[in-house]
Amino acid sequence: MDLQTIMIKLQEYWADRGCLIWQPYDVEKGAGTMNPATFLKSLGPEPWSVGYVEPSRRPADGRYGENPNRLYQHLQYQVIIKPAPADIQQQYLDSLAFLGLNPLEHDIRFVEDNWEAPTLGAWGLGWEIWLDGMEITQFTYFQQVGGFDVEQVPVELTYGLERIAMYLQDCDNVFDLIWTGTITYGEVFQRVEWEQSSYSFDYADRDLLFNLFNSYETEAKRLLELDLVYPAYDYVLKCSHTFNNLEARGAISVTERAAYIGRVRTLARFCAECYLKQREKAGYPLLAGGAL
């Protein structure tokens, strides 16, 4: 099964289970969790179900397109369902079966893994899903987001699309994956990987990035005072990505690291607080609709 079909099938599967099919968010981010459709919508009492593909950038993980398993950017399929349904484990397993992974022919395991995103003030408990020894999904019941206890517990499923595709295609090198037809993952992304890795490790301008971080931070604060949560949150994401770039470039020492993470977390917390107030003021419209 090619990569594209996997994405389409997951969209189809979760759409059939009542998920709204969202889209990747157009600001750089390290994980699908940072998409406002997860971060903000996980907060508050309103029900919410979405599924979407998210390209996730991790500058420090780049390997110039030379490592068969490591990428600057990888693709996640992200599902958020709030509140978590009682049969969510089964729903997840059925989604694997829908991709052709018959649970009777594999060793599928739920292995403890507690997820945490310190820049978002978010954490949860759950598992890594192992398919014959390989981690293919992160399965998390959120407990806190933006420093707030969740009111309704969302479940987050994060499928590692390249990993699953490599398994299904019996492929040892991510760049050999078939995306569709005769086009490989390498043809789409190998040059991108090389350029982005070069930028992150060798050419990123430290001074510029430090300045950008400060400007983004100031802007986020200013916007939050105007109660403009979404644009403010965009700048929080920019802060986070800039921090990741600085770290990959080796510009941040271990001591400074904690302070930078703290600064992003503070902003994320403000956004969460502001968003919660907005929804409360609006009277939680999704509660009444109940459509999702």
Partner 1 sequence: MTVCYNLLMEIGCEEIPSRFLPRAMGQLKTEAAALLADNRLGHGTIETWATPRRLVVLVSDLETKQTDLVEKVKGPPVDRAYDEAGQPTKALLGFIKNHGVSPDSLEQETVKDARYVVVQKETPGRMTEEILPELLPALIRKLSFPRPMYWQSKDVRFARPVRWLLALYHNQPVTFSFAGIQSDRFTYGHRFLAPGPFEIDSVNHYFRCLEENHVVVDQNRRRKLILDQLKEKALEMGGEALIDEDLLEEVTYLVEFPVAVDGSFDRSYLDLPQEVPITSMQNHQRYFPIVDRESGRLMPHFVGISNNRFHPNIRKGYAKVLQARLADGRFFYNEDCREPFESYVEKLKSVIFLESLGSVDQKRARLVELCGMLGKKMNLPDERIEKAKRTAHLCKADLVTSMVKEFPELQGVMGREYARLSGEAEEVALGIYEHYQPRFTGDAIPAIIEGALVSLADRIDTLAGCFAVGIQPTGSQDPYALRRQAQGAVAILLGFEMDLSLEDYIGSALETLSTTLEIDQEKRQQLEKSIYDFLIQRIRFVLRDRGIDHDVTEAVLAVPFRTTADLVKKAAVLEEYLKGPLLDDVITAYNRVANLARNAPGDSVDKNLFEDVSEKELFRSLKTAEENLKDLDDHAQALEQLQLLKQPVDNYFDNVMVMVEDKKLRENRLSLLAALKKSFNRVADFSKLPAP
Q: Residues interacting with partner 1, by CB under 8 A?
A: 67-69, 83-84, 86, 89, 93, 103-112, 114, 124-125, 127, 131-134, 141, 143, 149, 153, 167, 172, 250, 253-255
Kind and range of the H or E element at 119? Answer: none
* Nearest by Cα to 204 from 250, 254, 237, 259: 250
Q: Where are the beta strands (DSSP E) in the chain?
A: 20-21, 48-57, 73-82, 108-112, 115-117, 122-131, 134-145, 148-149, 155-160, 178-180, 183-184
CA distance 243 to 204: 12
Smallest gap from Cβ 238 to partner 1, in A, equals: 26
* Nearest by Cα to 13 from 101, 145, 72, 132: 101
Tokens of 234: 């965009």
With tokens 């594209």, the residue in question is: 4
Smallest gap from Cβ 219 to partner 1, in A, equals: 31
Cα–Cα distances in Å, from 206 out to 29, 184, 217, 240, 241? 19, 34, 16, 15, 13
* Pick 134 or 208: Cβ nearer partner 1: 134
Smallest gap from Cβ 16 to partner 1, in A, equals: 21
* Pick 29 or 82: Cβ nearer partner 1: 82
* Pick 132 or 225: Cβ nearer partner 1: 132
* Pick 69 or 211: Cβ nearer partner 1: 69
Smallest gap from Cβ 159 to partner 1, in A, equals: 17
Smallest gap from Cβ 125 to partner 1, in A, equals: 4
* Pick 173 or 180: Cβ nearer partner 1: 173
* Pick 131 or 145: Cβ nearer partner 1: 131
CA distance 135 to 164: 9
* Pick 182 or 255: Cβ nearer partner 1: 255
Cα–Cα distances in Å, from 84 out to 5, 64, 140? 27, 39, 10
Smallest gap from Cβ 210 to partner 1, in A, equals: 17
Smallest gap from Cβ 181 to partner 1, in A, equals: 25
Rounded to a whole number, what is the distance in angstroms from the first to the last CA of the chain?
Answer: 30
